[in-house]
Structure formats: C-alpha cells, structure tokens
C-alpha cells in the first residue's frame, strides 16, 4: 500500500468507530505503519529469502552481480553499516549482513570472551539476529521520520513542490532490512538440536543458515588446527533438519549454506557406515590413513575395516580420533560440496587456508562438472595476512616469468619498505580485484569478511586512546572523531536523533497534541549540528 492508500484506509477505519477515535490522526497512523513494515522476524525471513533467490539468479546470468557483506557483532554496527551503504551508494542492493559465530563467542557470550568452539550459549545466536533487525528497523523508522518532518515543514511553508518531492521519497523508500547469512556453527548438538536452533534463528529473521561439517562437540574455528569432520550422512541429517525448520515456518525459499572444513581437517571421530562398495560411507572411509593387516597382526582393541577383500587398520590417535591421509583435503572438499548440493544445500562454503583464486577455482571447477550452477559463499577472512599472501603470489609469478626479484626477500615481504615498489603495487591491485576475480573465475556468489567490525572497533579505540590520553587531549577526540563525523556526514554525530529522541517526540505529539513535552526544543544541544 502507498502512503496515500494507508491514510485512506485509516480514515475509513477511524470513521467506522462512531466518533470514539476522533483523537486518532489517520496520517499519523499511516506514518507509524510505514515505519513498522516488518511485524515479525518471519516477515523479514520471507522477504529477505526472496531477495537472495533473485540475487542468486542474477549472478547465474552475470557473474559480475556478486553480493557482499560484513560481519556485525551488535545491532548498532549493522545499522550504521546499512546507513552508510545507503548514503554512499543510494541502494542496499546486493549488500547483506553476516553473523559470525566467532564474534558471538568472543563478544556476546555471558561467559565472557570465548574461543570459536561452540561453547557460547546457543540462544545468543538468535538473540543477536533479533537485535540486528531491531536496529535496522529503527533505521527505517528514523529515516522515514526525517522525511515526514520535512513534509510537515514544507506544508507549513506552502512549498508544494518540496512536499511532493518528499512524498515521492516516502513512496520509493528502500528499507535498511537486508538478508543475513547466520552462522549456526555445527548445529550445537545432534540433528534435533540443529532443528530447534534453526527454528529460533529463522523466527528471529534469518533467511540463510550456514552450517559446517565439523563434529559439534569438537568444533574449532575454521582457521585453527584440530578440526574434526563427520561422515556425510551425519551432516546430511543436519541439512535436512534446517530445511524442515524453514518449511515448518513457511519460509519455503530459505537458503542453506553448507561449509566444508575438510581442506584443513585431518581427523574424523567416526568411521562411516558403508553397506556396499562405492557408497557414500565407503567413499568417506577411502580417505582414511590405513595399513593393511592380517588377523595375526591385529592388536587388542583394533578397529578394522574391509576394503576389496583386504583387512585395513585405520590410524587411530590416543584421542580416539581417526586420521585421514595427507593430501586428500581437496578431494574431500569436492565430495563434500557435491554431496551437500545433491541433498538440499543451496550454496557452498569452502574454508581455505589462504585467499588464492586459482586454488578455489580448481575445486569449484570439479564441483561444477557435476553441478554447473554451484555457487560459493567465501570468507575473505581477517585470519589471512592479505598483504603477505598477495605479495608472495606476485613474487612467485615474477619468478615464474623469469623476472629479477633480487631486491625482494620473499619471507619479509610484509615490510613497509615494499609498499611503493612494483611488487607491492601489483599485489594491492590483486587484492582490490580479488572479489570480482573470484566471482568470475571461482563461482563466488557472496564475498564476506567475518570479523571486520571487531578489528575496526579495536583500531579506532586505539587511535582515540593514543590521542585523547596523550598531549592532544580533547583535540584528539575533536580532530579524530567529531570533526570527521561532521565533514563526512556521519549520521550518528546527532546521537540523540540516532537513539530515537526525535521519533519519540513525533509519537508524543501524536498522543498528546499541543500538550506534548518534547525533547527537541530550542535548548537541545543537538541543534548545534543542524
């Protein structure tokens, strides 16, 4: 419904109350309705799922139409990100949110900072999703309130042209509510636990769930050692659990992102069940590091498997985990990816140890031989040393081309002295085009940075502390923060407005009319930023 349609519908409703609602203004109601477009998290999940499906189709037609997101650990961070995107680009199209399990563990657990090992409360994940969307909905309400205030001022001044311009902006308003890809880790338990948590996350607004093939109670950060994977059938049960949750809640086009950690995971907790040669369990077991034995060399407590008539003893560690053969990681990633897509997954996530387009593409080429439209969500991780990685890639390319690299020390390429060199500039160019290159060559539909706002918060706080507590004193804050907010048009320089003060004033006027006691009068110091 348009703004005008809302007003007319409210006029009819109020008129039907035989004068009992004469104190209710139909236009004020219409404004509040437009400011609260999404009534529930499920409304958000259904709306954003459609957006993601449309974006996936657009990417299939044109790989330059890839999508991006930044990880956000607080609603305010997500809100300011989307406000900034609208300010700089005029649209939120193809811009998402990412919810990182790492940041939930490190920043939002009641236990305090925790490693990324699924030790934080599972309820903190849907709670953060709800918080993110609460702040995005408030960003909608705030921006619309500014438009409504402008309409009132234009009417008071008799400026019809300005009023019509602002009304058109209301009619064409683009919401700050965008899709979120939410990390459900390894499901926080068995398939039933996964289903229960998935429901809570979807009810909070998540249209896309990212789940990984690690053992839930042995889960590790994707960029740390000691990762343990599960047999495919165990993982497929959790994929189905997520799909059941989506379908039960009426989000029929919900998205499941399946992450394989097999490239860096050398261990498994279980030997897969196999009923016949070549089945999925047999393929999983074929990667185990085994030695052939006969009954006479079997040891007490040995686990023994039969393969092609031979008795094999998988290598079992003191931890009771079984080891995969070295060099099988890529093959396992490819099998994981194909199997997931064939059993209900929509997007893939292959966790790698470095950002290298051709390494990613090599695996995706093999996946796409079986499933041509396979697409990746890729972690542009802060765990990578991007500068060193890409300088080493350029260095290796120069060596391969027979160019002189005598002025460079490959092991020390992070040194600032290389910043303005031919190698350093070439590496930065590769970093700049990495996302576009990966989208075109490696099937990467969505690029995300998992922990960026964790790092930016630390960096900006360090810079402010250094200046404010040093010789600059208050000038450290004014130069580094407030003056920059004013010059760059940062919305939260008017922090009272951002927190909802003006929204509250509008409501007070709706409710009490001229008797309203408003905060935004002439003595409000925020007027210094008008």
Which residue numbers are catalytic? Answer: 221
HSE-up (13 A, CA, CB side) for residue 434 = 25
Give the Cα separation of 377 and 517 in Å (integer). Answer: 50
Give the pairing of strands 208-212 and 255-260.
parallel
What secondary structure letter does DSSP report for 24?
A: S
HSE-up (13 A, CA, CB side) for residue 448 = 27
Map residue 206 onto helix, strand or coil: coil
- Cβ atoms of 252 and 243 closer than 8 Å: no
Give the Cα separation of 71 and 101 in Å (integer). Answer: 10
Give the Cα separation of 203 and 113 in Å (integer). Answer: 26
- Any alpha helices (H) in 249-385, and if so which ranges? 280-285, 329-342, 357-370
Give the Cα separation of 290 and 312 in Å (integer). Answer: 6
Give the pairing of strands 180-183 and 208-212.
parallel
Give the Cα separation of 374 and 209 in Å (integer). Answer: 17
Contacts of residue 30, defined as CB under 8 A and 6 or more positions apart, other chains included, come to 3, 6, 7, 10
Contacts of residue 165, defined as CB under 8 A and 6 or more positions apart, other chains included, come to none
Give the Cα separation of 174 and 58 in Å (integer). Answer: 20
In angstroms, what CA-CA distances link 297 with 168, 271, 300, 313? 82, 21, 10, 10
Residue-by-residue DSSP string for 367-404: HHHHSTT--EEEE--TTS-HHHHHHHHHHHHHHHTT--
Angle at 83 between CA 72 and CA 1, to 5 degrees: 110
Map residue 318 onto helix, strand or coil: coil
Q: What are phi and psi of 21, to 5 degrees?
A: -110, 30
């Amino acid at each position: 419904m348009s703004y005008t349609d809302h007003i007319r519908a409210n006029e009819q409703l109020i008129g039907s109350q035989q004068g009992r609602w004469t104190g209710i203004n139909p236009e004020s109601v219409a404004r509040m309705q437009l400011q609260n477009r999404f009534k529930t998290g499920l409304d958000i999940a259904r709306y954003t799922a459609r957006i993601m499906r449309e974006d996936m189709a657009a990417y299939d037609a044109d790989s330059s139409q890839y999508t991006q997101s930044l990880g956000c650990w607080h609603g305010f961070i997500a809100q300011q990100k989307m406000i900034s995107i609208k300010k700089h680009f005029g649209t939120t199209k193809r811009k998402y949110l990412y919810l990182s399990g790492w940041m939930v563990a490190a920043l939002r657990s009641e236990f305090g900072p925790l490693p990324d090992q699924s030790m934080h409360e599972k309820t903190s994940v849907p709670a953060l999703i709800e918080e993110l969307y609460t702040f995005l909905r408030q960003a909608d309400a705030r921006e619309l309130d500014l438009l409504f205030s402008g309409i009132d001022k234009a009417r008071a001044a008799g400026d019809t042209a300005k009023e019509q311009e602002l009304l058109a902006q209301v009619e064409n308003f683009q919401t700050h509510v965008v899709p979120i890809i939410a990390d459900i880790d390894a499901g926080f338990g068995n398939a039933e636990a996964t289903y229960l948590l998935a429901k809570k996350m979807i009810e909070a607004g998540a249209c896309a769930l990212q789940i990984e093939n690690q053992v839930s109670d042995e889960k590790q950060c994707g960029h740390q050692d000691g990762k343990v994977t599960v047999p495919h059938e165990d993982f497929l049960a959790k994929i189905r659990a997520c799909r059941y949750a989506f379908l039960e809640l009426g989000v029929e086009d919900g998205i499941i992102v399946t992450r394989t950690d097999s490239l860096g995971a050398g261990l498994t907790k279980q030997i897969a069940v196999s009923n016949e040669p070549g089945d999925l369990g047999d393929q999983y077991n074929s990667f185990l590091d085994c030695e052939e034995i006969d009954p006479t060399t079997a040891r007490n407590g040995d686990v023994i498997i039969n393969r092609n008539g031979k008795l094999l003893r998988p290598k079992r560690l003191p931890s009771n985990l079984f080891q995969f053969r070295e060099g099988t990681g890529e093959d396992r990633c490819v099998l994981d990816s194909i199997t997931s897509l064939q059993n209900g997954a929509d997007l893939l996530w292959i966790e790698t140890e470095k950002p290298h387009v051709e390494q990613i593409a090599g695996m995706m080429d093999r996946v796409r031989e079986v499933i041509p439209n396979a697409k990746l969500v890729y972690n542009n991780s802060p765990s990578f040393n991007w500068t060193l990685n890409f300088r080493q890639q350029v260095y290796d390319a120069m060596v391969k081309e027979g160019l002189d690299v005598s002025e460079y020390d490959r092991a020390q390429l992070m040194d600032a002295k290389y910043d303005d060199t031919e190698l350093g500039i070439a590496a930065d160019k590769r970093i700049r085009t990495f996302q576009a290159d990966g989208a075109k060559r490696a099937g990467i539909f969505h690029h995300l940075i998992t922990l960026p706002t964790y790092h930016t918060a630390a960096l900006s706080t360090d810079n402010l502390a250094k200046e404010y507590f040093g010789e600059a004193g208050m000038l450290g804050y004014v130069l580094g923060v407030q003056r920059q907010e004013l010059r760059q048009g940062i919305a939260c320089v008017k922090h009272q407005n951002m927190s909802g003060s003006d929204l509250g004033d509008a409501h007070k006027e709706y409710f009490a009319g001229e008797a309203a006691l408003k905060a935004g009068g002439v003595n409000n110091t925020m007027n210094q930023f008008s």
